[in-house]
A and B are shown apart, each in its own frame.
Chain A
């Protein structure tokens, strides 16, 4: 793992966030509390690919039992499938408040066994992702505290209490590894912007990567930005399809993301009102690449990549809006992951809130 800059140590993860696999089975974990991304060798050497389905009912209860907590104390923040072993990885926050603890859970592909992945004394690297204030911006995070925290400051004849703490935070909403770089989408707790950070991997001490704002145009009339909720590389990593918190689906070539340049993506679809995109995955069916989008309200949407490439930017409101799409009658899908070439794995919540892992054949989608 030396070639990727990983060194034996502890991944001091404070909170469970999005996860995604990179090269050589390295798992990237976003830690929003610490404003870091960790790269961890999860030492998953096999077994070799099994091409069959994989289903596990009540995965929240199973994981909760292993972790010693009720299913309601299992918050599954993300899911990823190891590219070779096809073991399933869950980024889990166990418990709430001060008792909350991040755990990386591995579910055995062959037997459904549940283990936690050690994060101590493992090959690891990390990179900071916070919007760190500049060196001379000492005052940026000073506020007048509401309680008795902070430090006292003498101003003239008055004593004022000030508090220095990072108020501004950035929450990673999704990540993907593409061609030697980790792409990280985030949501600020203050300004409203669309930031896609590109962090070269192996991580370097010198640079935390470039940060780009991707605009999109609605109906040829309004140009805007919004935080990216979820995105997926496709076309061998040449293209990105991103879905925003305000639901447009926007295409942009990765080559457009030059540092400092204004990037304008092409709006190719909208996913409908009072709806949030939750996750995306690409898969191949009959030699053609397709995208699946999981939504909070509108089921699972399937879009053909060739239709995206052929779709001119949306210039007029239409119904349905944008590229042709099929909506699968699968409700409660929260996360998606490729399970080999022949299946897509779904994390699905039922009406009672119980969560299940279910695989569907790509041929049937």
Chain B
């Protein structure tokens, strides 16, 4: 009588077969017995361990998957790889922007999770919905490419650019996905799986009011700077006059001191993404400082310092601006 069970061999998982007739042909396939017809066996090796034979898989057994073992073509047993009994702990920690109102040509949102996530859920578990709870169809960029940061904790959510860019079929036929005066919510369902395969503790949503189009360059010359006194570690504060992209703000603004050296410190983006500040690690020197603005910095609608999202060729204001960093001088008092 053959006994088949989960076991270990050489530090790895295996399926152990005891009491097997000599020379018997053993195969393993994922799934219940009925699905095996015509499918190739799972890659692995049969290794003799004393009187037992062990199936050592080339690719690790997956939790929650059933494996059917056949001996001489007949099903011996189906073993189910248990899923560890864990409770959901992963949460949504932030949804950006936090601005209360976004332009109707909003391009991008970010969702932050408290733990690394699985890929493959964004299309089904992230949506835009109206105040009645109905999904706004065709609003988000469909596609196979989910945009994660390296740690898979921040998901970038793009609205379909074809519906935002003027002149394209998507925009002409379907219009903006968002309408001025019609609030909407970004909804993340709790079914979104974390990297352990568990759902979220709870879904989350953020509601936005919708304003008109935003088609202007991001213009550092129009920003309002609050300049700290020299000799203190008070922050330099920058007010943009409109919300900018949270992801890009985190890396596009720097401060250089009188000698051109970068001022190190703690940057902070305000709630609403309309302002940024830097608390310096050391007290401000006197003399001329520069706020250095990377020209890729965008607003919520994809307009950057160097170019607008789609340029109206007949509009002189839309002409591309310099691709080099923009310097905004200030002098601690």
Q: Which residues of A contact B (CB under 8 A)?
A: 33, 61-62, 64-70, 73, 75, 77, 93-101, 103, 113-114, 116, 133, 136-144, 146-147, 153-156, 158, 160, 162, 165-169, 171, 173, 187-193, 217-226, 229, 245-248, 270-276, 278, 296, 317, 321
Contacts and interface: CB of A to CB of B under 8 A. Distances in A.
Nearest to B164: A246
A219 B312 CA distance: 11
B313 A222 contact: yes
Nearest to A101: B59
Given A65-B29, A168-B247, A190-B251, 8 more contacts: A65-B36, A65-B40, A68-B67, A69-B59, A94-B59, A146-B114, A167-B250, A218-B310
Nearest to B174: A273
Q: Give the interface centre of A160, A192, A193, A296 by most chain B CB atoms within 10 Å.
A: A192
A158 B268 CA distance: 14
B167 A67 contact: no
Nearest to A153: B266
Contact of B147 (A158, A162, A189, A270): A189
Contact of A272 (B169, B251, B268): B169
Given A222-B166, A224-B165, A317-B167, A66 B43 contact: yes
Interface stretch (B72-80, B149-157, B181-189): B149-157
A139 B252 CA distance: 10
B279 interface: yes
B165 A191 contact: no
A97 B197 contact: yes
Contact of A70 (B31, B150, B194, B251): B31
A187 B145 contact: yes
B257 interface: no
Contacts of A97: 116-119, 193-197
A224 B172 CA distance: 16
B162 A155 contact: no
Contacts of B60: 68, 99, 101
Nearest to B308: A224
Contact of B313 (A67, A167, A217): A217
Contacts, number: 239
Contacts of B148: 169, 189
B117 A146 contact: no
A67 B296 CA distance: 43
A163 to B, nearest CB: 9
B247 A96 contact: no
B262 interface: yes
Given A144-B268, A192-B298, A245-B143, A98 B247 contact: no
Contact of B310 (A62, A103, A223, A229): A223
Contacts of A62: 39-40
Q: Give the interface centre of A156, A248, A317, A321 by most chain B CB atoms within 10 Å.
A: A156
A274 B143 CA distance: 11
A34 to B, nearest CB: 9
Contacts of A165: 149-151
B311 interface: yes
Interface string B116-131: 1111100000000000
A136 B62 contact: no
B65 interface: yes
Contact of B149 (A94, A114, A116, A189): A189
B101 interface: no
B119 to A, nearest CB: 7
B247 A167 contact: yes
